[in-house]
Amino acid sequence: MNRILITGCNGFVARYFVDYFRANKIVADFMGVDVAESCSMDGISYSQMDLMDLESIKKVLLAYKPTHIAHFASVSSVSQSWERPVESFTNNTNIFLNIVEAVRKLGLSPRILSIGSSEEYGNYPQHALPLKEYYQLRPCNPYAIARVAQEMISKLYADSYDLEVMMTRSFNHIGPGQREIFAIPSFIRQMLDAKAENRTVVSVGNIDIVRDFLDVRDVVDAYYKILFFGRKGDVYNVCRGMGYKLSDIIQQIATIIEFSPELIVDPTKVRPTDNQIIIGDSSKLMTVLNWRPVIPLETSLRQTIAHMAKEG
């Protein structure tokens, strides 16, 4: 029986990850942990936990003895990491180190999914795109550094302690339920509200940047395959392999909701050093683990808009 421990189980990705097992009739038991008092998901066991507390991680690990750990807990916003770099570092690197150290100390051998980010690559010139796993990492924001450090720790524990850790470099996600601190839900919310209130002005950051967006359901399909069938110590890009300019996505949203916004750049939303263009190469994931993205961007946008319109 698969016994899957999910950290950050109240988050956006965790919910879709559990849904994936149910939809594909993969038998598994789930134990979720998160900082909140209660679990936002039905049908899984839950334990409130501060992942900075090594001893309480050990206690849960010993009691549950997971066969797999899907480690989704993270403060994953780049802009937040500029505001609060210490918090970003602690809630990415340190909590991950605590988990693998607890596993090692207890002599357990679960397979562990370590989530990283496309931000780890840093700025590469256009001719070097799409980004490949073997490229040198040149992180240029606090969140990116935290993820590179996490990846180094993953590799060390895989190589030196023989822990079954697999790593991702995950590119941008999109899908119903994503929080509004992220760019696309923020655009949609503002445009829905502006339309409802007969305003036209929408405040944006740098919308000339290009990002590789993947639907969260394609993301969790990749995560399942990597966690269950990936190779120890290997890192996998999780991306579509196509770039979308944020201004073009705004145009698509405008078309769908039939609304023409007037875009005002808010300088506080422009980050000190922004990567201009990020597109990944997903060949490894496709070749080695037989993964394919199946949800077109327009579908993700339409469903996200419908979800947010319903929320009001």
Q: Does residue 70 interact with a second copy by CB under 8 A?
A: no
* CA 226 and chain centroid, separation: 14
Least distance (Å) between residue 160 CB and a second copy: 5
Residues 208 and 47: their CA atoms lie apart, in Å, by 42
Q: Does residue 270 interact with a second copy by CB under 8 A?
A: no
Stretch near a second copy under the rule CB under 8 A, chosen from 15-23, 97-105, 187-195, 243-251? 97-105
Q: Which helix (H) or strand (E) holds 146?
A: helix 142-161
Sheet hosting strand 235-238, strand order edge to edge:
45-48, 28-34, 2-7, 68-71, 111-114, 164-170, 235-238
Q: Does residue 94 interact with a second copy by CB under 8 A?
A: yes
Site string for a second copy, 9-48 (x = CB under 8 A): ----------------------------------------
> What contacts 27, CB < 8 A, 6 or more positions away?
1, 2, 21
Residues 152 and 21: their CA atoms lie apart, in Å, by 29
Q: Does residue 90 interact with a second copy by CB under 8 A?
A: yes
Least distance (Å) between residue 140 CB and a second copy: 7
Nearest to residue 304, comparing CAs of 233, 256, 270?
A: 256
Among 43, 267, 272, 312, binds a second copy (CB under 8 A): 272
Span 154-213, contacts to a second copy by CB under 8 A: 156, 159-161
Residues 138 and 62: their CA atoms lie apart, in Å, by 38
Q: Does residue 54 interact with a second copy by CB under 8 A?
A: yes
**CA angle, 43 then 47 then 52, to 5°:** 140
**Are the beta carbons of 237 and 214 closer than 8 angstroms?**
no
Q: Does residue 86 interact with a second copy by CB under 8 A?
A: yes
Among 7, 98, 178, 186, binds a second copy (CB under 8 A): 98
Angstrom CA distances, 92 to 13, 186, 211, stand at: 16, 23, 22
- Count of other CB atoms within 10 angstroms of residue 231: 13
Q: Could you tell me the two tokens for 282? A: 């997903």
Least distance (Å) between residue 122 CB and a second copy: 10
Among 14, 18, 31, 153, binds a second copy (CB under 8 A): 153
Q: Does residue 109 interact with a second copy by CB under 8 A?
A: no
Stretch near a second copy under the rule CB under 8 A, chosen from 148-156, 169-177, 202-210, 221-229? 148-156
Least distance (Å) between residue 126 CB and a second copy: 21
Q: Does residue 116 interact with a second copy by CB under 8 A?
A: no
Q: Does residue 148 interact with a second copy by CB under 8 A?
A: yes
Pick the closer one to a second copy by CB: 93 or 170: 93
Residues 173 and 294: their CA atoms lie apart, in Å, by 14
Least distance (Å) between residue 303 CB and a second copy: 36
Contacts with a second copy, residue ranges (CB under 8 A): 54, 85-86, 89-90, 93-94, 97-98, 101, 136, 139-142, 145, 148-149, 152-153, 156, 159-161, 272-273
